[in-house]
Amino acid sequence: RLVLDIGLPLFGPGREALDTWALRRRTKPELAADGILPPIPGVFTDGPAADAILLSHAHMDHTGLLEFTDETVPIYASAGTSKMMLAGGIFAAQTELPRERYRELVATRPVRIGDFVVTPFDVDHSIHGAMALLVEAEGKSLLYSGDLRLHGRRPGKAELLLKSLESRSVDVLLMEGTHFGLPTENPTDELQLENDLVAEIERAPGLALASFSPQNVDRLIGFINAARRTGRLFVADVYTAFVMYLISSQTDVPDPVRDENIRVFYPHAFRRSCERRNRVKIHDQFLPSQIGVDELRADPARYVMLFRPSMLDDDFEGTLPDRCRCLYSYWSGYLDKPDWQKMKRALKEVDGDVVKVHATGHILEEDIVRFVEAVAPGELIPVHTFEPQRFEDHFPNTRVLEDGVPWKLG
């Protein structure tokens, strides 16, 4: 048996956002009792162990239950996913990848796992290292899309995947459908988003605050490029600098120490935990590029700075530089949370503002149709969606499965 992703749910049955931080503090029995932990034998409960867990990428809704799994089961993932989980574990209390269980997946290189042959393919998503997975056994094939999109900086990845499938038949496609049933409020592609960032930064009279996930490498590149195009320096925090260091040799992201257009800010939260969490080596690594609050306040219009709400009190003592502009590049729902409400008040006090500049990390509805038609699967099974029935509007071969109910191919 293979397990495809092992995520912590982000939403409840009523589509309400769940408190993932609170869920992660619960015990295994508590999660099982609440129905968060599915009773999969050999993974979360007693029974013959699965042959492997395959991770498509490092987002918590695909990895968040990993720590509760059978410790004897190997975990397959890309090197990029391994690096993102390393950074997320160190800096964001996210799920870590146990090194002794890790097996590397390399794009287009088949690997045999028990009776299965798995071929991974790089895809474009809002995190580095994402993959789709082709699983073959007994003359049958299943393609798991993972999370992907066609409007990022690397649309060619999907084209390579589709080209590789031209000579193969896909019996079943497990297809993500995040944008079925959700409004597409940000259909912008990543290249247009960079131009939008340039326009907003040019109109910013003071410090430009960049609020986004450092693991979203497309967005990171967009902010770095926008800073350069507007004659500003990009200021990474240590978390972002560590991500840049990890992936600089495989991507267009610059090394934060070697690039003179990059500076590194050391948040107080990182300084406080540095020795306690054995981060001294990481601390020292970026000191040549260090910048402090005083330097930022002295010439704020010179910088585009990675920022999160916790820095408001911790590092800026509750008062931001005059006329700050915060470029918000996350899901808009987070703006309703108390920390962002406080942040908006702080910006208003200094004649600043928040501007939403975002592009979705998930495939758009029209691109889902195009992708599925190109794969031409025998059957289509919707996953990662609130409204799986919407697939039936486009594809008569859709099969909507119920949670926990076995289904056999063939």
Mean pLDDT over each residue of the chain, to the nearest integer: 93
Radius of gyration of the chain, Cα coordinates, nearest whole angstrom = 22
**3-state SS, residue 27:** coil
Do 21 and 50 belong together in one domain?
Answer: yes
Query: Model confidence over 377-410: pLDDT tens digits?
Result: 999 999 999 889 999 999 999 999 998 899 998 7
Overall size of the chain counted in residues? 410
Position 407 in a domain:
no
Within 119-258, residue ranges assigned H as helices are 156-164, 190-202, 217-229, 238-247
Distance CA 305, CA 295 (A): 12
Are the beta carbons of 142 and 409 closer than 8 angstroms? yes
Q: Spell 310-321 as b/e; 16+ CB within 10 A means b.
A: ebbebbbeeebb
Residue 36's CATH number: 3.60.15.10
To which residue do tokens 């269980």 refer?
101
Q: Which of these, 161, 121, 115, lies nearest to 139 by C-alpha position?
A: 115
Q: Are residues 40 and 156 in the same domain?
A: yes
Residues 229 and 313 placed together within one structural domain of the fold: yes
Note whether 101 and 68 are same-domain residues. yes
Of 25-34, 68-77, 340-349, the range with the lowest mean pLDDT is: 25-34
CATH of the domain at 197: 3.40.50.10710
Give the amino acid at 397: N
Q: Write 194-198 long-range contacts (CB < 8 A, 24+).
A: 194/221, 194/222, 194/225, 194/226, 196/357, 197/222, 197/223, 197/226, 197/327, 197/357, 198/226, 198/229, 198/230
Question: What is the number of other CB atoms lying within 10 angstroms of the CB of residue 173?
Answer: 26
Of 311, 339, 356, the residue at which a domain comes to its end is 356
Helix (H) or strand (E) holding 317: none
Closest by CA to 358, choosing from 175, 158, 201, 222, is 222
Is residue 410 situated within a structural domain?
A: no
In terms of domains, do 281 and 323 share one? yes
The answer to the question of residue 405 being in a domain is no
**In terms of residue numbers, what domain contains 260?**
190-356
Domain assignment present for residue 194? The answer is yes
Q: How many domains does the chain have?
A: 2
Residue 401: inside a domain, yes or no? no
Task: Identify whether residues 138 and 18 lie together within a single domain.
Answer: yes
Q: What are phi and psi of 397, to 5 degrees?
A: -90, 20
Residues 6+ apart with CB under 8 A from 230: 198, 201, 202, 304
pLDDT score, position 64: 94
The SS3 assignment for 67 reads helix
pLDDT digits (tens, 9 = 90+) for 136-166: 999 999 999 999 999 888 888 999 999 999 9
- Expressed in angstroms, the distance from the first to the final Cα of the chain is 17
Residue 248 lies in a domain: yes
Please tell me whether residues 256 and 107 are part of one structural domain.
no
- Point out the domain boundary residue: 356, 373, 402: 356
Question: Is it the case that residue 276 has pLDDT exceeding 80?
Answer: no
- Segment 328-352 shows an average pLDDT of 94
**How much is the pTM?**
0.93
Whether residues 54 and 170 share a domain: the answer is yes
pLDDT band at residue 13 under the 50/70/90 scheme: confident
**103: enclosing H helix or E strand:** strand 102-105
Same domain, 201 and 176: no
Give a yes or no: residue 406 inside a domain: no
**Residue 222 forms part of a structural domain:** yes
Q: How far, in Å, CA of 132 to CA of 55, rounded?
A: 9
Assess whether 156 and 232 both reside in one domain: no
372 and 272 part of one domain: no
- 264/195 same-domain check: yes
